[in-house]
Amino acid sequence: MFGTLTGRLGVAAHSALLVLAYLVMLVGGVFGWVGLFAVAGLAAIIGEFAVARWSPPSQLLLEKVGLHWSYRQLTRDLAAVLLVVAEVRLSGGELTVLLVLPAAVWVVSVFAGALSTMIERRNPLSAMVRNIDLGPLSSAPTPPAWAAAVAGDRMPLLNLLLVPAAVAAAVRHDPTPFFVAAAVSVVATGVVGAIIALTWLRGRGAGQGPLLPAVQRWLDSYRPEVALYFAGPAKDVYQANMWLAPTEALRQRAVVLMRSREAFLELADTRLPVICVPAGVDFMNLDLGGVRAALYAANVGANIHMLREPGTKHVFVGHGDSDKQASVNPYSKVYDEVWVAGLAGRERYARAGVGVLDSDIVEIGRPQLAGVHTFGAESVDRPFTVLYAPTWEGWLDDDPYHTSLVLMGERIVKHLLATNPRLRLIYKPHPLTGSRSKAARAVHERIVAAIRAAGGNPDASSLDGTAHLVVTGRTPGLFDCFNQTDLLISDVSSVVSDFVQSQRPYVVANPAGLSEDDFRREYPTARAAYLLSKDCGELEKIVTVTRAGDDPMTEARRDLKTYLLGPAEANPMDRFQEEISRLCR
């Protein structure tokens, strides 16, 4: 809380200092205080650059209180004009020129900005595609990138020249330096404005942008039967990534439908055709009536734009079964079916009583886990390896026990690094770690520093070798880490459920200090786990027992695997294909 308060005060201070610089400029200009104007003008220019470069929250705060940067530019220009008026004796004609030249830059910028917006609307980036050939597309002409970048409210930035020019004019008591600088700004602005205007004239009569019609033509010819739909932000794209391989393996034609440009760019490599249509109106205007089954990896509001398709069966597949409350979201009632891995998922919904009918739940196993080696399949050409994979801090500010990272993470890592004989540590935090909690972010950074100090790789992109690793990127994936792991330490999360596929030993953190019976009763995925209390006193014994191969939980894990993930003899990819085929018939 203190860190948050300090950060907000810093943002407010940066904003206030910048506003103060502009006010001092105005005062200096009105009274002809050249030195004060020069110092304040320099501070304002440097401050604008600093805020834009290092303090975006300050920029946002100024806009929220009505001090948009265009208003600040106008204040700067006005102060420069006032300084010249105060210090230079001007004729009527000179005063007119003094006022008209800076104003001309603003007038041109307004018209250029409007025309630039109209040009952009002729060629809207209404869709993005991958692995799809849309054929040749004709589009309306566009201005050069540099001209488009400065058109509009950026054009008055050229009036920065007026600040030193006003100082020079005031010192010399001669308006010539100001007139020269203002004329340069007007000419440069006029060139940009002319380019924008000519581009607009050349494109008159252009019809609808070609992208969406081309996408629709492709859909009409390809006729996908299955859609993996993802409308979440880029930071959550891992939720869609985990369903790419199973969807690729289907016999039916499939497509990935996305709604965020940033998430589209972050989506993992796939052979599937991918379509991103950000605007809700554009997406709803697509004809997707041929899609028989739509799979949803996340509960987000923009799902409504796909859920409105009446001829499609809508299925929530989620992004991993766990005992978290998020795994039984009441939003799930909107889908035709909810697919879970095994009996545990079905019973979880029954206990939660959120309105999902038992008849709408289908157990399909976890098709993603086909590549996870079962117990005894790992290589012996490496040291005993422990994977610490804590979950993130979650959405609730008042839940300190959602993740073990803050309360236990450093203690776990330091113990593992100090273990003798040496073991190998792989630290793979949740992709959202630190996104809401500064405390979690700070602990994460200290853990990375400790692993680096122990000779580990703090930014691993490969699991080769025997060094300690920090894995935070898209690759290597979680399941690749599983195949290098002899002992998992994690929290109540889908990581635990998926790791049970390997039948190797695992530890679940118990930072809240629940009794063992209560913890296993409340979190069924921990039935075959070793439990770790907040002081981590059990960790040494757990490592010793599992390292020696004298593991009393082996049979319990075998039974739990069936409960969580379905019968061992059932191929989850076959089950997935079977249920998709049922919906597509």
What are 209-238's pLDDT values in tens digits?
688 999 999 999 999 999 999 999 999 999
* Structure tokens that stand for 250 in this block: 């289907």
Q: Taking a C-beta distance cutoff of 8 angstroms, is the pair 339, 270 a contact?
A: no
Per-residue pLDDT tens over the stretch 250-266: 999 999 999 999 999 99
Query: Rounded distance, CA 570 to CA 552, Å?
Result: 26
The dihedral through the CA atoms of 353, 559, 528, 316 has a sign that is negative
Per-residue pLDDT tens over the stretch 414-440: 999 999 899 999 999 998 898 888 899
Whether the pLDDT of residue 137 is over 50: the answer is yes
The dihedral through the CA atoms of 399, 400, 404, 409 has a sign that is positive
- Whole-number percent of the chain with pLDDT over 90: 69
**CA-closest candidate to residue 391, choices 327, 461, 329:** 327
Whether the pLDDT of residue 324 is over 60: the answer is yes
75 CA to centre of own chain = 36
* Structure tokens that stand for 517 in this block: 């019976």
* Predicted pLDDT of residue 473: 85
Strands 274-276 vs 128-130: parallel, antiparallel or unpaired = antiparallel
Confidence of residue 7 (pLDDT cuts 50, 70, 90): low
* Predicted pLDDT of residue 2: 42
Per-residue pLDDT tens over the stretch 369-399: 888 888 654 455 779 999 999 999 886 555 6
**CA-closest candidate to residue 295, choices 576, 2, 7, 578:** 576
* Residue bearing tokens 């595609």: 129
Query: Rounded distance, CA 25 to CA 7, Å?
Result: 28
Query: Rounded distance, CA 101 to CA 187, Å?
Result: 10
Q: Which residues contact 269 (CB under 8 A, 6 or more apart)?
A: none
**CA-closest candidate to residue 264, choices 124, 127, 400:** 127
* Predicted pLDDT of residue 377: 45
Per-residue pLDDT tens over the stretch 510-562: 998 999 999 999 999 999 999 999 999 999 999 999 998 888 999 999 999 99
* Predicted pLDDT of residue 112: 92
Phi and psi torsions of 426, nearest 5°: -115, 120
Q: Taking a C-beta distance cutoff of 8 angstroms, is the pair 542, 507 a contact?
A: yes
* Predicted pLDDT of residue 82: 95
Confidence of residue 3 (pLDDT cuts 50, 70, 90): very low
The length of the chain is 585
Strands 128-130 vs 385-389: parallel, antiparallel or unpaired = unpaired
Strands 487-490 vs 385-389: parallel, antiparallel or unpaired = parallel
* Predicted pLDDT of residue 207: 57
Q: What is the mean pLDDT of the chain?
A: 90
* Predicted pLDDT of residue 451: 96
Whether the pLDDT of residue 271 is over 50: the answer is yes
Per-residue pLDDT tens over the stretch 44-87: 999 988 888 888 888 888 888 888 888 899 999 999 999 999 99
* Predicted pLDDT of residue 402: 83
Confidence of residue 406 (pLDDT cuts 50, 70, 90): very high
42 CA to centre of own chain = 37
Class of residue 514 by CB neighbours under 10 A (exposed 0-12, middle 13-18, buried 19+): middle
* Residue bearing tokens 């019973």: 347
Q: What does the pLDDT average to over 183-201?
A: 93
Please indicate whether residue 201 or residue 395 has the higher confidence score (pLDDT): 201
Confidence of residue 208 (pLDDT cuts 50, 70, 90): low
How crowded is the C-beta side of 56, counted as CA atoms within 13 Å? 0
